[in-house]
Structure 1
Amino acid sequence: MKLLAALLLLVQVTLAQPGCQTQTQSNPIADWYPMNITGVFNGTFSIAFVNRQAAESILPQGVSFLDDVYRREVAGWREDMFPVLIRAGYVHDIRARDRMVRNHRGIISFELPFVDALGDGKTPFRYAYTQLIQAMRPSYGLDIAEQYGVPHIIPSNFDPECDAYGFIQGPDGRPHPAKLRGMPARTPRLTVEVTSPQQLTKEARPVGDDELKRIVNQPRFGIGKEGMVCGRRTTMFGEEVGFDELVRTKGEVSLNAPFESLDFLFEEGSTRRKLIYGIRVGTAFVDRDFVDCQSLAN
């Protein structure tokens, strides 16, 4: 009994760690998908546009972009520029059939969508090129990135530690999200910051909400040790778990120093700041990793 009481106390202390309060609620879909990994994402999905040649230069050898699909899916497409998906958030309450603990984690991920991974000319995939992932061991997030062959996996610390965004008081008296800052564990003076305040102006957005949701839900691929690896995360935008509603954002991604694996984001000679448009959400997701790539074809 004493051992049981001690274990219960340990669990309570762990759950009550200061700074680990999140705006989002616990996983509402675990019982719906008992055979899959499910969880909650609290953060933003944003798009930055980069030089087309720079984007092409970081693709794996032998694959190319699906220009026809890109033009069809993105109303504000540009011939000389290409979108980069930036996922910046906090993932928590991860559940799986095997009951193995998968720790919460912060993540800032830079991914190229509309990639013709299958060579079929019609099925768009996402390719993750650089990922800042919570520095901890064991880390399911780091392990998965390694198995997908993500070229630049950067164990990092995040501020805020256990939420996607701290909140600041805006000039209108309402709370506005501040920065999510990622700091590589080996070079903590280097910072990658994603700011995504609510877009208050009515200017046109280069990517619509539904367009961005479809990009987020494109299957993913990578080049692992034994060849191509594929999977799909389905973000269930209808399953909000904390925020009252989807919020449109306009902000920037910025670096405080040169960062080789993110050089492709910025034009030569420009500042290390990039305008981004996105959506802030608290939503559930379900994962299917390491599936037959052809099974994901449209």
Structure 2
Amino acid sequence: MSVRKLYAAAAVVALSNATLLCKTQSQPNPIAADYPNDPTGTVNGTIAILPIPYSIARSIIPSEYPILTRAISSILPHLPADEYPAFLQLDIDHDVQASGISIPDFLQAKILFPFVDRLGDGYTSMMYGSQGLISADNLVAVVGSSVYGYVVTGGTFDPPCDAYGCVEGSEDCEEKYFNAYSALDILREQPKIGINFTTTDNSPYSLDVFKNITNQPQFSANKLLCDQFIRLFNSSVTMPPYAPQAIRAQVSAVAPFFAQTTSWSDVYGFQLDNAFIEHNLVQCDSLQGYQFTD
């Protein structure tokens, strides 16, 4: 084993120990008893739209899948025709349970590509992804994503077990951050995906936009299987005093987690906590016409 890999392994072990010692502020899973046989939990974190040139989106999404531009125009009527809404997801999956089995918390960071005509029917929107970072010490989560064809990088995160941290010197935690690193990046010289954000009253996007995007079935390189990940917006963790907060952010991403190393300013989204139900390894064709209803 090389010295670099040895240090990386030591870093993962250290992270595992730190994760065991730290305590998340996420609320408990409120729906486990209602769906005892299905994987459920909460996803507490930040979601946002990254406006990118349509040409870049087209270069990332496999060419055999059309982009549903009419659906984009319907959901995001003010988005310019030459732009595309890439989707940023940064969160901690907490209190995940299924059939009496609990899965340790894990963090993840990824940029996804919604409104993809995966089924070729002209109307069923799905979300494509290819690269992501997931807590390196959670083998279940890493393998679970890899099954769909994602290229999963074992990650370490700052903060290590929460959806965001307070920027040092920020009064009353007005400015928050979340950074995702490769576990091989011992010195943490640059986050692979990072965000700084504050709350705002002037978001151009309603919460309904994100209800649509986040509940589009997800797929990757696997030609047959999709992940039907259902975020609920009517459970206790998404209600006052935990209601979603609109945010304005600065975001950075390093290739290959985006097509090219890029920084965005004036990014808008929400910081929120959702209960979720997940249907794993679903035949993609069976989801034709799927529409989420809260």
TM-score, scaled relative to structure 2: 0.83
Given candidates 171, 176, 179, the residue that maps to 1:178 is 176
Question: 1:264, CA displacement in angstroms?
Answer: 4.4
8 A contact 2:106–2:141 mirrored in 1: yes
8 A contact 2:178–2:196 mirrored in 1: yes
Question: 1:168, CA displacement in angstroms?
Answer: 5.0
Query: 1:254 — aligned with what?
Result: 252
Matches within 5 A, 1:80-159: 80-97=82-99, 99-137=100-138, 139-150=139-150, 152-159=151-158
**How far apart are the structure 1 equivalents of 2:105 and 2:287?**
27
8 A contact 2:19–2:160 mirrored in 1: no
**How far apart are the structure 2 equivalents of 1:140 and 1:169?**
33
Residue 43 of structure 2 aligns to a residue whose secondary structure is: strand
Query: 2:272 — aligned with what?
Result: 281
Q: Is the alpha carbon distance of 1:125 and 1:110 closer, same or farther for their aligned partners in structure 2, counting shifts above 3 Å?
A: same
* 1:161 maps to 2:168: no
Question: 1:28, CA displacement in angstroms?
Answer: 0.8
Q: Is the alpha carbon distance of 1:87 and 1:240 closer, same or farther for their aligned partners in structure 2, counting shifts above 3 Å?
A: farther
Question: 1:216, CA displacement in angstroms?
Answer: 0.7
**How far apart are the structure 2 equivalents of 1:285 and 1:169?**
32
8 A contact 1:27–1:284 mirrored in 2: yes
* 1:73 maps to 2:69: no
Deviates more, 1:237-246 or 1:33-42: 237-246
Given candidates 230, 237, 241, the residue that maps to 1:241 is 237
* 1:43 maps to 2:37: no
Q: Percent of aligned pairs with the same residue?
A: 25
**How far apart are the structure 2 equivalents of 1:250 and 1:296?**
33
Q: Deviations over 1:56-86 (max 9, x none)?
A: 1111241120111111121222211101111
Mind listing any 5+ residue stretches in structure 2 that lack a counterpart?
Answer: 1-16, 290-294
**How far apart are the structure 2 equivalents of 1:289 and 1:16?**
26
Count of matched residue positions in the alignment of Structure 1 and Structure 2: 268
**How far apart are the structure 2 equivalents of 1:265 and 1:238?**
37
Deviates more, 1:212-221 or 1:174-183: 174-183
Query: 1:27 — aligned with what?
Result: 29
Residue 155 of structure 1 aligns to a residue whose secondary structure is: strand
8 A contact 1:44–1:196 mirrored in 2: no
**How far apart are the structure 2 equivalents of 1:134 and 1:121?**
36
TM-score, scaled relative to structure 1: 0.82
Question: 1:126, CA displacement in angstroms?
Answer: 0.6
* 1:290 maps to 2:281: yes
TM-align CA RMSD: 2.3
**How far apart are the structure 1 equivalents of 2:53 and 2:137?**
34
Question: 1:180, CA displacement in angstroms?
Answer: 0.5
Q: Is the alpha carbon distance of 1:69 and 1:181 closer, same or farther for their aligned partners in structure 2, counting shifts above 3 Å?
A: same
8 A contact 2:111–2:257 mirrored in 1: no
Question: 1:37, CA displacement in angstroms?
Answer: 0.3
Question: 1:221, CA displacement in angstroms?
Answer: 1.6
8 A contact 1:165–1:177 mirrored in 2: no
Mind listing any 5+ residue stretches in structure 1 that lack a counterpart?
Answer: 1-13, 267-271
Structure (1 or 2) with the larger CA radius of gyration = 1
Query: 2:292 — aligned with what?
Result: none
